[in-house]
């Protein structure tokens, strides 16, 4: 909860910036960070609100919103809010009209939703998906949609927290928001079900089965990758026969067909 005193201080600081520094709201440092980037990075929440409210009073072209100004890595203030896991700032900036589809210039070229989905930030994913301006199926620089990012990183050790990511709730939120599970990894044609099958993860398959209708699920489990392999054909050999059996049964119960060598 922000106190009235903190907001008064933030408003006074913002007014001084605008009054004494011409173009302060558009100022960028050598890394091209704006004042808004800087206060978000320092988690100075009152100043974030004060700056954005001041920006909203300005006249600017729709394509040049000051709160969408990117830094040298093409990271917007909204992206930094996601990176800092501040759901309330993400919601506030998105409601103010921040563009959720601007991608960074890093090799991954993630938009905010890719970054959040890959790291299991379910509440932030839910917020971003609630805005119609968010392109929920946007591909990043690695050829992945946010849904694919969530699936590929499920069960992976996150460097920052050193915790194993559990992205199941994030995956469910994306599906319920309308994410298209048939969009494949652009590099190899693998779908979310291919990746679940490769990990022998029957629980992931069950999430898709619960959310998708029967016909769509049947098409998905039979969708081939660029090597013309369906998920059931890409099952890896495993010393854990029970896991392999579970995923095999899960795929077959969803409508996976077993093709003869001649038909593939």
pLDDT of residue 261: 63
Closest CA to 77 of 42, 106, 107, 108: 42
CA gap 171, 150 in Å, rounded: 6
CA gap 231, 235 in Å, rounded: 7
CA gap 17, 195 in Å, rounded: 51
> Other CB atoms closer than 10 Å to residue 225's CB: what's the count?
17
Coil, helix or strand at residue 192: helix
Average confidence (pLDDT) per 10 residues, the chain, 264 residues: 92 93 90 97 97 90 84 98 98 97 98 98 99 98 99 91 94 98 98 96 97 97 97 87 94 90 55
Q: At what angle do helices 168-176 and 202-211 cross, to 10 degrees?
A: 20
pLDDT of residue 22: 82
Closest CA to 105 of 148, 72, 136: 72
pLDDT of residue 2: 87
pLDDT of residue 238: 77
């Amino acid at each position: 909860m922000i106190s009235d005193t903190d907001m008064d201080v933030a408003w006074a600081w913002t007014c001084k910036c605008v009054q004494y520094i011409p173009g302060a709201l558009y100022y960028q440092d050598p890394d091209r960070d704006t004042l808004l980037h800087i206060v978000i990075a320092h988690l100075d929440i009152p100043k974030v609100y004060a700056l954005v409210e001041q920006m909203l009073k300005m006249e600017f072209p729709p394509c040049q919103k000051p709160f969408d100004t990117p830094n040298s890595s093409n990271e917007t203030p909204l992206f930094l809010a996601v990176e800092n896991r501040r759901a309330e700032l993400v919601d506030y900036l998105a409601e103010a009209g921040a563009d959720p589809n601007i991608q960074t210039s890093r090799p991954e070229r993630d938009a905010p939703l890719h970054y959040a989905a890959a790291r299991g930030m379910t509440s932030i994913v839910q917020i971003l998906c609630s805005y119609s301006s968010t392109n929920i199926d946007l591909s990043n620089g690695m050829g992945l949609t946010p849904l694919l990012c969530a699936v590929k990183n499920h069960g992976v050790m996150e460097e920052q927290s050193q915790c194993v990511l559990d992205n199941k709730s994030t995956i469910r939120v994306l599906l319920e928001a309308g994410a298209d599970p048939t969009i494949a990894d652009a590099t190899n044609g693998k779908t979310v079900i291919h990746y679940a099958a490769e990990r022998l993860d029957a629980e992931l398959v069950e999430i898709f089965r619960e959310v998708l209708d029967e016909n769509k699920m049947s098409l998905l489990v039979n969708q081939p990758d660029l090597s013309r392999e369906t998920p059931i054909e890409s099952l890896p050999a495993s010393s854990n026969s029970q896991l392999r059996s579970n995923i095999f049964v899960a795929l077959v119960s969803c409508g996976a067909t077993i093709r003869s060598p001649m038909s593939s």
